[in-house]
Amino acid sequence: MLSAILYFASILPLLILARSNFPAADDYSMDVETHAAYAASHSVFAALKAAVLKSADLYERWQGNFFGVFMMSLSPAVYDESLYRYGIVIVVSLLTIGILLLYYVLFRKVLGTRSPLMWCAAFVTLLICVQCLPEGQPRVQGLFWYNGSIYYIGLYGVALILFSMMMLLGTGKGGIFMAAAASVLSFLLGGSNYMSVLCLMIADVLLCALVLWRERCETGKIRLTGKLLRTCIPMAFLLAGFLVSAAAPGNRLRSGVVSGYNPVKAVMLSFYYTLNQIFDHWMIWPAAVMILMLLPVFWALARETEYSFEHPFIASILAFGLAAANITAPLYATGGIDAGRISALFWIQTMLLTILLEGYLTGWVFRQLRPRGRESGPVFRKAALQFTAILGSLLIFGSALSLLANPDYYTAASALKDLRNGCAAEYAQEHAQRMEILMDPEIRDAVLKPYSAQPTLLYYSDITEDPEDWTNVALASFYGKDSVVIKK
**Mean per-residue pLDDT of the chain:** 88
Residue type, 15: L
Query: For residue 260, what are the contacts with CB-CB under 8 A and spacing of at least 6?
Result: 266, 330, 331, 332, 333, 334, 335, 336
- Cβ pair 164, 109 in contact under 8 A: no
Beta strand segments in 274-329, E: none
Distance (Å, whole) CA 184 – CA 178: 10
Residue 456 located in a structural domain: yes
Residue 456 DSSP code: T
Distance (Å, whole) CA 329 – CA 251: 13
Whether 220 shows a pLDDT value over 80: the answer reads no
Distance (Å, whole) CA 143 – CA 149: 5
SS3 of residue 136 by DSSP? coil
Summarize pLDDT for 85-138 with one digit per residue, the tens: 999 999 999 999 999 999 999 999 998 888 899 999 999 999 999 999 999 899
CA distances in angstroms from 439 to 40, 444, 479, listed in the order given: 15, 10, 7
- Cβ pair 416, 448 in contact under 8 A: no
* Closest C-alpha among 339, 193, 331 to residue 264: 331
Distance (Å, whole) CA 62 – CA 341: 19
Residue 341 located in a structural domain: no
Summarize pLDDT for 376-419 with one digit per residue, the tens: 566 667 777 888 889 888 989 998 999 999 999 999 999 999 99
Residue 488 located in a structural domain: yes
- Cβ pair 436, 442 in contact under 8 A: no
Residue 437 located in a structural domain: yes
* Closest C-alpha among 59, 14, 293, 259 to residue 149: 14
Q: Once rounded to an integer, what is the mean pLDDT over residues 153-176?
A: 90
Whether 323 shows a pLDDT value over 60: the answer reads yes
Buried b (16+ CB within 10 A) or exposed e, 363-379: bbbbbeeeeeeeebeee
Distance (Å, whole) CA 26 – CA 77: 12
* Closest C-alpha among 345, 348, 274 to residue 125: 348
| pLDDT given at position 277 | 78
Distance (Å, whole) CA 358 – CA 318: 13
- Residue by residue, DSSP assigns 428-442 as HHHHHHHHHHHT-TT
Residue 455 located in a structural domain: yes
In the chain, % helix, strand, coil (3-state, to 5) comes to 75, 0, 25
| pLDDT given at position 329 | 83
| pLDDT given at position 258 | 65
CB atoms within 10 A of CB 24: 23
Distance (Å, whole) CA 49 – CA 118: 41
Distance (Å, whole) CA 102 – CA 165: 9
Residue 444 located in a structural domain: yes
Whether 374 shows a pLDDT value over 60: the answer reads no
- Cβ pair 241, 185 in contact under 8 A: no
Whether 176 shows a pLDDT value over 60: the answer reads yes
Q: 442: domain range?
A: 421-488
Distance (Å, whole) CA 462 – CA 455: 13
For the entire predicted model, the pTM comes to: 0.93
Summarize pLDDT for 222-277 with one digit per residue, the tens: 666 777 788 889 999 999 999 999 888 877 777 666 667 778 888 888 888 888 87
Residue 335 DSSP code: S
What is the band of 79 on the pLDDT scale with cuts at 50, 70, 90?
Answer: very high
SS3 of residue 377 by DSSP? helix
Q: At what angle do helices 117-131 and 87-103 cross, to 10 degrees?
A: 140
What percent of the chain clears pLDDT 70, i.e. is strictly above it? 94
- Give the number of domains in the chain: 1
* Closest C-alpha among 383, 352, 340, 341 to residue 287: 352
Whether 173 shows a pLDDT value over 60: the answer reads yes
| β-pair partners for 289 | none
Residue 430 located in a structural domain: yes
Residue type, 258: V
Q: Once rounded to an integer, what is the mean pLDDT over residues 136-144?
A: 93
What is the band of 373 on the pLDDT scale with cuts at 50, 70, 90?
Answer: very low
CA neighbours closer than 13 Å in the CB half-sphere of residue 126: 29
Helical (H) or strand (E) element with 484: strand 483-486
Summarize pLDDT for 8-46 with one digit per residue, the tens: 999 999 999 999 999 988 899 999 999 999 998 889 999
Summarize pLDDT for 288-301 with one digit per residue, the tens: 999 999 999 999 89
Whether 372 shows a pLDDT value over 60: the answer reads no
Residue 311 located in a structural domain: no
